[in-house]
Amino acid sequence: MATLTNEELQFYRQNGYYLYHKPLFSEEKMNRLRSIFDEHHAEKGDKLSDELDTPHFRDERLLEFLLSDEALDLVEPITGPNIIMWTSHFICKDPLVGRATPWHEDSAYWKGRFDNYENIVTIWLALDRSSEENGCMRVIPGTHVNGFSEYEAVDGSRNLFKTQIKNINDSDAVYFELAPGECSLHDSRIIHGAKPNTSNYRRCGYTMRYLSASTKVHDNKKNEGWKFWLARGKDMAGNHYVNV
- pLDDT for the residue numbered 49: 78
Q: Delineate the domains of the chain, giving CATH numbers in brackets.
A: 6-232 (2.60.120.620)
Percent of the chain with pLDDT over 70: 99
Write down how long the chain is.
Answer: 244
Q: Any idea of the CA torsion for 22, 26, 28, 34, to the nearest 10 degrees?
A: -50
Q: Per-residue pLDDT for 4 more than 90?
A: yes
Look up the pTM and report it.
0.95
Q: Per-residue pLDDT for 61 more than 90?
A: yes
From the CB of residue 240, how many other CB atoms can be counted at a distance below 10 Å? 13
pLDDT-derived band at 243, boundaries 50, 70, 90: confident
- pLDDT for the residue numbered 160: 77
- pLDDT for the residue numbered 30: 98
More confident residue, 192 or 45: 192
Amino acid at 205: G
Q: Per-residue pLDDT for 156 more than 90?
A: no
Whether 162 contacts 119, CB under 8 Å: no
Q: Per-residue pLDDT for 101 more than 60?
A: yes
- pLDDT for the residue numbered 97: 84
- pLDDT for the residue numbered 121: 98
Q: What mean pLDDT, rounded, does the chain reach?
A: 94
- pLDDT for the residue numbered 13: 97
Q: Is 85 exposed, middle or buried (0-12, 13-18, 19+ CB in 10 A)?
A: buried
Q: Which range scores top for mean pLDDT: 46-50, 96-100, 124-128, 149-153?
A: 124-128
Tens-digit pLDDT profile for residues 197-208: 999 999 999 999
**224 contacts: CB under 8 Å, gap ≥ 6:** none
- pLDDT for the residue numbered 221: 94
- pLDDT for the residue numbered 85: 98
Amino acid at 94: D
SS3 sequence of the chain:
CCCCCHHHHHHHHHHCEEEECCCCCCHHHHHHHHHHHHHHHHCCCCCCCCCEECHHHHCHHHHHHHCCHHHHHHHHHHHCCCEEEEEEEEEEECCCCECEEEEECHHHHCCCCECCCCCEEEEEEECCCECCCCCCEEECCCHHHCCCCCEEECCCCCECCCEEECCCCCCCCEECCECCCCEEEEECCCCEEECCECCCCCEEEEEEEEEECCCCECCCHHHCCCCCEEEECCCCCCCCCCCC
- pLDDT for the residue numbered 244: 54
Q: Which residues pair with 17 in a beta bridge?
A: 186
- pLDDT for the residue numbered 15: 98
Report the pLDDT averaged over residues 108-129. Answer: 96
How far apart CA 184 and CA 169 sit, in angstroms, is: 22
